Amino acid sequence: MKQKSFIILTVMAMVCLLINSPVFSKDIKVGAAFSITGPASFLGEPERKTAEMIVEEINNSGGINGNKIKLFVEDTQGDNTRAVMAFKKLIEKYQVCGIVGTSRSGTSMAVIPIVQAAKIPMLSCAAAEQIVTPIADRSWVFKTPQNDSDAVRRIYDHIVSKGIKDIAIITGTSGFGTAGREQLKNLSKEYGLNIVADETFNPTDTDMQAQLVKIRNTSAKALINWEIVPAQSIIPQNMKQLKIEMPLYQSHGFGNIKYVKAAGVAAEGIIFPAGRLLAVDSLPDDHPQKSVLLDYKKKYEEKFKEDVSTFGGHAYDGMHLIANALKQVGDDPAKMRDYLETAKFVGTGGSFAFSPKDHCGLDKTAFEMLTVKDGKFVVLKE
């Protein structure tokens, strides 16, 4: 009798375990779409490497509840049309349960209608706040980089602390640059700053001296550049050629040491907000992010023999958030979306706290202000 009762209890326990365990439909298919080639490869290539590294690590450790992830990676080349085609391929051909990417704000904006219609969760690796707002129109969209609006706030905090009132802005006409320009203009009034010059350029331009001469002829005491490659290296070089000595601030898109190397000595003194990955050695040992950052930095640099960047970190956070969702709720896209909407996660970008009203989960405290000194990124001390 006792043996029969034991068998019944064991069976009931196993049934309860099965009911409460995530259910997977065949293979765990996850998608990724990055700017692996093209002008934004500085973003997409470290993202690709990071995503594949994480999947390899998870699979070698037994997968997700015994099931291995199959990662499908597409190259958007930083192009909107290619990004749309890549997402359609991931969703329709490979039937992925979630997608990490894209690398750029413009391509992320372009694919939002695709994931909204397909009801597949997307974790963008791009920064523009408008990628996740308004949430009513982007309920399946999340992102891992800090908001561009919070990057502007950190820059403006520093400018105001220096007693500067008149500033100049120069921005690219890409999705990232356009969104940044809007944030710079909108928030300037809140900080009591006067934008005395507002110049733009094509992201493929190789010389901005004409715009910089106009800026030099104004009362501006600081310049903010908002664009990714190649302008982040060209503008400081042009400023040096023109002997413009006002401080140069860049967006958080400057967080790759390759930009510094491309600009050479002209990069010295550039100021920009960034996640703590680039300043991990200066963090106290009890900082909640330090162990995560050190672990990622060590593994990435040992495996790929190159410096870690904040961009790869965006993919690190996205892949781990997807993996956490899979562990908890399985590969049902709707359940994954619901999980992500209230997820808490300590990653490379900060301590995420997503909510139904916030699909970024970070604020301006996720940034440190960095500068370039002797060709290296260091925490800004002043």
Contacts of 191 by beta carbon, 8 Å cutoff, 6+ apart: 156, 157, 159, 160
- Comparing 11-25, 118-132, 176-190, 308-322, the range with the smallest average pLDDT is 11-25
Contacts of 76 by beta carbon, 8 Å cutoff, 6+ apart: 33, 34, 35, 36, 44, 82, 83, 86, 101, 102, 103, 104, 107
| Single-letter amino acid, residue 272 | F
**Residue 217's Cα: distance from chain center in Å?**
35
- Comparing 86-100, 132-146, 194-208, 276-290, the range with the smallest average pLDDT is 276-290
Q: Which residue has the higher pLDDT, 249 or 282?
A: 249
Which tokens is 237 given? Answer: 């070089």
| Region of 77 on the Ramachandran plot (φ > 0 left; ψ -120 to 50 alpha; else beta) | left
The predicted structure's pLDDT at residue 17: 44
Q: Which residue has the higher pLDDT, 369 or 230?
A: 369
Can you list the domains of the chain with their CATH numbers?
28-145+289-362 (3.40.50.2300), 149-274 (3.40.50.2300)
The predicted structure's pLDDT at residue 169: 98
**Residue 74's Cα: distance from chain center in Å?**
17
Q: Is the pLDDT of residue 11 over 50?
A: no
**Band of the pLDDT at 255, cuts 50, 70, 90?**
confident
Closest by CA to 168, choosing from 199, 207, 143, is: 199
Residue pLDDT, tens place only, 120-161: 999 999 999 999 999 999 999 999 999 999 999 999 999 999
